[in-house]
Chain A
Amino acid sequence: MFKFFLVKLAQLVPTFIGVTIVAFAFIRLLPGDPILLMAGERGISAERYAQLESQMGFDRSLVVQYLDFLKGLLHGDLGNSLVTHAPVMDEFMSRFPATLELSLFALAFAVIIGLPAGVLAAVKRGKTLDHTIMGVSLTGYSMPIFWWGLLLIMLFSSTLGWTPVSGRISYMYFIEPVTGFMTIDSLIAGDWGAFLSSLHYLILPSIVLGTIPLAVIARQTRSSMLEVLGEDYVRTARAKGLSNFRVIMVHTLRNALISVVTVIGLQVGLLLAGAILTETIFSWPGIGKWMIDAISRRDYPSVQGGLVLIAFIVMIVNLLVDLAYGVINPRIRH
């Protein structure tokens, strides 16, 4: 098992180097220049431009800049934002818990609804219920996040008044961040009202962000359930006279879960991508909104640092999924 872990870890090194190159190149390939954007219509003199350029280190060759970036990275230093002048690492870490909290709630929503829906569809294969669940999940899968979010806001927030429109907690509450998770921090502060408020603010964004993973999980659960239901040992279990419930929950679902767990793991990348749009709609103060601002301001250090950190997180999660896979299915290890 340990060797398996080491091999997996070693495989990440070239991937990670690739990511740093892509992240570094991506923002520089985009047309646009942070200094010109900052100056706007007002313009900037050539001397001043040269001065700022050398202060920011952009007058050096790209190779030197890249090596500098790598060197900083090895020391855990991603440089400072061009806009706020604060360390990129601090900026990222102060916002990441918000994204993580939203993603976890979205994932929980997707699993809690998606898994049973997939099982039901498999059991009722070919029946109306199956068609309905698969139809709805296909619709959910193809739902544009931006449009879906606005639609839910208009219905539940503006018309019915059941949920808040946007934000992370009511402005009535002010909770000192400890973990950065609003739900946990409000419990630490012992403020029950703040906890309920933070849950209230999580409902709509979690649904919006969880919709696509939900559809993916439901479909994957259904197809892998169907595959397992056709296995000999399921037939054997039925022949033994086990209850239908026991056959499905123990013999089938457990084995079908292997591929479902992988798919859930793969959703993390999807969730982080979806979080960018969801956060924009719901004014959710996470890394998605931060990245968008950084890109539009061409804040090179923030964009490349943010991309590397996000890629790093996705890689680590995938590694964990691989490991979990190895635990669930020992054959993988060899």
Chain B
Amino acid sequence: MKKTLLAAGIAAMMLGATPVMAKTLVYCSEGSPEGFDPSLYTAGTTFDASSKTIYNRLVQFKPGTTEVEPAIAESWDVSDDGLEVTFHLRDDVKFQTTDYFTPSRMLDADDVIWTFERQMDENNPYYKLANGSFEYFNSMSMGELIKSIEKVDDHTVKFVLTQPNAPFVANLAMDFASIHSKEYEQQLLDEGKPELANQQPIGTGPFQFVNYREDAAIRYQANPDYFRGKQPIDNLVFAITSDAQVRYQKLMAGECQVMPFPNPSDVEEMQQNDDINVLEEAGLNVAYLAYNTQMAPFDKPEVRKALNMAINKQAIIDAVFQGAGQVAKNPIPPSMWGYNDAIQDDQYDPDKAKQMLEDAGVENLKMNIWAMPVQRPYMPNARRTAELMQSDLSKVGVDAQIVTYEWGEYLKRSSDTKRDGAVILGWTGDNGDPDNFLGVLLGCDGVGGANRSQWCYKPFDDLIQKARTLDSQEERAKLYEQAQEIFKEQAPWDTLAHSTVFMPLRKEVTGYKIDPLGGHSFEGVDIE
């Protein structure tokens, strides 16, 4: 409370001292948000416009990293059996005051419980309103994981879990876990228009919603009551600009100060522009080629390894990523804890690959390579990648055909355990936890689903399962390092690349940090 008063006081003094010269930051966002209630959606574009600006979560990722740090909860304890996680809430967090809502109280345990109840309790009116379609909450299996949520006192909330789960706290830093105001949503329910929560959001975050013109612009202003103090900029505008080339032109013309997702081919020119800084960072992602390990001859690790050695990954980085990426040797990206840097990648060696195939008794191999029809953050052009692979493979006597399907169909068919061929796909991390890659993409549970190599290998799966139940990050990291060794021996994938994320912004913008998880946040950003 003191801090808020102090911050308010400073803000008032600044307003009094300087003539009214509002600082406005314009961000050329890449698309329209689907709505402003982050629990309903899964798209990054929607999260940028809602959870990253308007809301906070119990815990958060430290800006620019995947480390979990306190946010609305100032601390938390985990019981010895790992089944109870207790959060201690700050007492100075206030929901935003706008022309459609004025909070009568500070945030407390009821708001936290409400936030999760509305996504898991079938009797909650918001659950009914959305028909329970809280896809992110569901896809992270939160409903099965949370047994109950208890209010210990006004500022203490206890989550009781059905099983110990180390990534659980990191899950609560994700966008779907943004804390909603129970008071506001109750008020909307009383007025008979609960759906307005998705159009006129109220959160506790650094910026508050002003208005949205569909497909054109979203306006925010700094939240004067923000518990970390008012932001240095006064207004934030998202100018929706779906074409990357046009965003670049707008950035050059000064119509916006920050733009996401530049065309890889424009980056070099941007770096030479005196008005523009190009920030770059390795994205928390991986692109891979997944063999179907249940189909002969790809059920043999030596065949998979031989094919990996036949493919020139550096050439793919140069030609497809245009240098904006690095060759991957592990299924998790290097910036993630638990990354095993001691692993040796299978080097590109077509002669040896050919020999290995012969030794394995594989002759005149015909195979399919699946190329995704869309561009993704981890893969700029899958078709081109597949063509390079095709030509590499032909040098070792493998006849590869490229197949593709419409994106939804591709995702579905590639999950099938009887799928014919190796699939190009990738993943962007949700919560910075290695389990989010190794467990989801390579665990036995994922066969027939997210595990595209249909690979269920007990020694690997045991390590992953065990790591999930431990609390100590150090011990978990050791298990993940071992798991990566087994992965490399067995080679269910050819690990292709980790892409680089570029963020062009004008020179006058300071304090912007690239979020390795792919989001865009303007907390702490200033204009000089």
Contact = CB atoms under 8 A, between A and B. Distances in A.
A156 to B, nearest CB: 10
Nearest to A157: B253
A52 interface: yes
Contact of B133 (A55, A158, A161, A280): A55
Interface in B406-435: 406-409, 411-412, 415, 425-428
Contacts of A43: 139, 411, 415, 449-450
Interface string B445-489: 000011000000000000000000000000000000000000000
Nearest to A290: B215
Chain B interface residue count: which class?
A: 35 or more
Given A32-B408, A36-B412, A48-B138, A174 B219 contact: yes
Contacts of A39: 42, 135, 139, 411
Interface stretch (B96-104, B239-247, B322-330): B239-247
Interface string A281-292: 111011001100
B32 A165 contact: no
Contacts of B406: 30-32
A31 B405 contact: yes
Contact of A42 (B195, B245, B450): B450
Given A41-B411, A43-B139, A95-B215, A171 B253 contact: no
Contacts of B242: 280, 283, 289
A85 interface: yes
B216 A167 contact: yes
Contact of B34 (A40, A48, A83, A289): A83
Contacts of A293: 31-32, 215
Of the candidates A42, A52, A157, the one having the most CB atoms from chain B within 10 angstroms of its own CB is A42
B123 interface: no
B253 A281 contact: no
B56 to A, nearest CB: 24
Interface in A123-172: 150, 153-154, 157-158, 161, 164-168, 171
Interface string A29-53: 0111111111111111100100110
Interface in B20-51: 24, 26, 31-32, 34-35, 42
Contact of B241 (A40, A85, A166): A166
B213 interface: yes
B237 interface: yes
Interface of B: 24, 26, 31-32, 34-35, 42, 131-133, 135, 138-139, 195, 198, 211, 213-217, 219, 237, 239-243, 245-246, 249-250, 252-253, 255, 376, 405-409, 411-412, 415, 425-428, 449-450
20 contacts: A31-B409, A32-B408, A36-B408, A36-B412, A39-B135, A39-B139, A43-B411, A84-B35, A85-B198, A150-B245, A164-B255, A166-B239, A167-B255, A168-B216, A171-B24, A283-B242, A283-B243, A285-B215, A290-B214, A293-B31
